[in-house]
Amino acid sequence: MGQNFLKHFRKEINAIKIRFFLTAARHRKLYITTEPPTPVGSFFHQMLYMGSVRSMKVLVLTGAGISAESGIPTFRGVDGLWEGHRVEEVATPTAFDQNPELVHRFYNTRRRHLLQKDVRPNAAHIALAEYEANHDDDFLLITQNVDHLHFAAGSQNVLPMHGQLLEARCTQTDKVYPWFEDLSPNTPDPETPSRRGNLRPNVVWFGEMPYGMEKIQQAARNADLFLAIGTSAVVYPAAGIVQQTPLNCQRVEINLDTTPQSKVFTETIRGPATVEVPKFLRRVQESCKNTNEH
């Protein structure tokens, strides 16, 4: 009698544990695994099991590496933009106060470069835009890049957290204007031409607050899939976004090299963005298709 009771009791406890796990998993509050990082296929089966595969929350973070194959130099490493310049001289509010000519010259050169005909979106930008257009997912693309290549590729939901170089901002009103010309301390205000020198490139400098942080943090907290592409993960707050994604979020890093955050990702893919981004997104699409057919 005593043994039967114990057996029955254990069975009940196990059933309760299983019910608890399934309910929690369904509500995506709990994701327990002793498995090593899951390949994307099984991740999507997991998502189906949790009933949310049809509308995933996809968050993408891009850095200079995604535009490198479009001919735009990255910041760090050999031939990187910061190799020839000290950040403090050209990318801080103090630098702009003390030597606006130098700061304008630095960004004018980069703006002219962006406007060259051969600077075009590459296969990685295009794959992201196509993925967004062809899926019902809740999709947000955060970019640290100040180039316009995600927009040119057709991406819709883009948040340029470090601003846009093809825009100028009034230092007094914060009004933003599309801008394709050189800027100088003498540039007339577009609305009141008698006023001069109040325009700056609409880029975020060190010591300033990136755009959209609240939206970014909320998207990170809710992400099912977080994809970081071509970023060295050394500049915060962008580098810390991965840490804000939930435990059950699949975190994938695509980069030529290892970064200080690589170990936080569930999958790291080493290779050029133009090859690996389209390949990865095809894999996601295939997994979704297979899962939906089951």
Residues with catalytic roles:
162
Among 170, 199, 242, 273, binds ligand OAD (CB under 6 A): 273
Q: How many whole angstroms separate alpha carbon 205 and alpha carbon 92?
A: 5
Among 144, 164, 202, 261, binds ligand OAD (CB under 6 A): 144
Candidates 72-80, 93-101, 126-134, 180-188: pick the segment binding ligand OAD (CB under 6 A). Answer: 72-80
CA dist 221 to 154, 194, 218, 226, 266, Å?
A: 26, 47, 5, 10, 16
Minimum Å gap between C-beta 26 and ligand OAD is 36
Candidates 47-55, 58-66, 112-120, 132-140: pick the segment binding ligand OAD (CB under 6 A). Answer: 58-66
CA 159-161-162 angle, to 5 degrees, is: 135
Among 231, 245, 268, 287, binds ligand OAD (CB under 6 A): 231
Hey, is 190 helix, strand or coil? coil
Give 45 or 76: the residue with its C-beta nearer to ligand OAD: 76
Candidates 34-42, 149-157, 190-198, 256-264: pick the segment binding ligand OAD (CB under 6 A). Answer: 256-264
Directed axis angle between helix 273-293 and helix 123-134, to 10°?
A: 20
Give 53 or 91: the residue with its C-beta nearer to ligand OAD: 91
Residue 230 near ligand OAD by CB under 6 A = yes
Q: How many whole angstroms separate alpha carbon 119 and alpha carbon 231?
A: 19
Q: How many whole angstroms separate alpha carbon 233 and alpha carbon 258?
A: 10
Residue 67 near ligand OAD by CB under 6 A = no
Give 63 or 121: the residue with its C-beta nearer to ligand OAD: 63
Q: Look at the block and give the residue holding tokens 């700056």.
A: 200
Among 257, 263, 293, 294, binds ligand OAD (CB under 6 A): 257
Hey, is 74 helix, strand or coil? coil
Q: Are 204 and 235 in contact (CB under 8 A)?
A: no
Point out which residues pair with 188 in neighbouring strands: 196
Residue 149 near ligand OAD by CB under 6 A = no
Minimum Å gap between C-beta 263 and ligand OAD is 15
DSSP class per residue in 129-149: HHHHHH--SEEEEEE---SSH
Minimum Å gap between C-beta 229 and ligand OAD is 7
- Token representation of residue 122: 């590459």
Task: Name the site residues for ligand OAD (rule: CB under 6 A).
Answer: 63-65, 68-69, 74-76, 80, 91, 144, 162, 204, 206, 230-232, 235, 255-257, 259, 272-273
